[in-house]
């Protein structure tokens, strides 16, 4: 079964920039996961969709893994882990909260 996930980021105000993966990270993730069908992604970024709330304080990313093996490959990928660690460090330093949910679809 596919795994669909949602990440919701909430920042304290619009003066705080969102974390953005580097172009190299995006390219690596796209090649390893998007181009292989392990994870769906749009041309703009490494997520299926990205929306920002009307007040600009919440950003929602949706992603889909092809199956649990694809999710395991994501977890085991060094570039992905580096990107996620950088994101989490940035978010903590800038008071950006993150909520994650996943479900099998």
Mean pLDDT, each 10-residue run in order, the chain (105 residues)? 95 97 89 87 67 97 92 94 96 98 95
Name 82's Cβ contacts closer than 8 Å, sequence gap at least 6.
25
This model's pTM is above 0.95: no
Note whether 62 and 49 are within 8 A (CB): yes
Angle, CA 5 vertex, CA 27 and CA 37 arms, to 5°? 45
Residue span of the structural domain in which 86 resides = 3-104
| CA–CA distance, 53 with 59 (Å, rounded to integer) | 6
Which CATH number belongs to the domain containing residue 22 in this structure?
3.30.70
| pLDDT in the model for residue 11 | 98
| pLDDT in the model for residue 41 | 64
Note whether 102 and 43 are within 8 A (CB): no
| pLDDT in the model for residue 39 | 87
| pLDDT in the model for residue 37 | 86
| pLDDT in the model for residue 56 | 98
Tell me how many domains the chain contains. 1
């Amino acid at each position: 079964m596919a795994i669909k996930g949602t990440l919701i980021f909430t920042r304290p105000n619009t003066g705080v920039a969102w974390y953005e993966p580097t172009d190299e990270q995006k390219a690596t993730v796209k090649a390893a996961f998007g181009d292989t069908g392990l994870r769906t992604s749009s041309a703009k970024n490494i997520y299926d969709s990205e929306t920002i709330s009307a007040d600009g304080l919440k950003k929602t990313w949706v992603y889909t893994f092809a199956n649990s093996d694809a999710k395991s490959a994501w977890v085991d990928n060094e570039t992905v882990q580096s990107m996620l660690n950088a994101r989490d460090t940035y978010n903590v330093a800038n008071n950006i909260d993150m909520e994650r949910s996943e479900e099998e679809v």
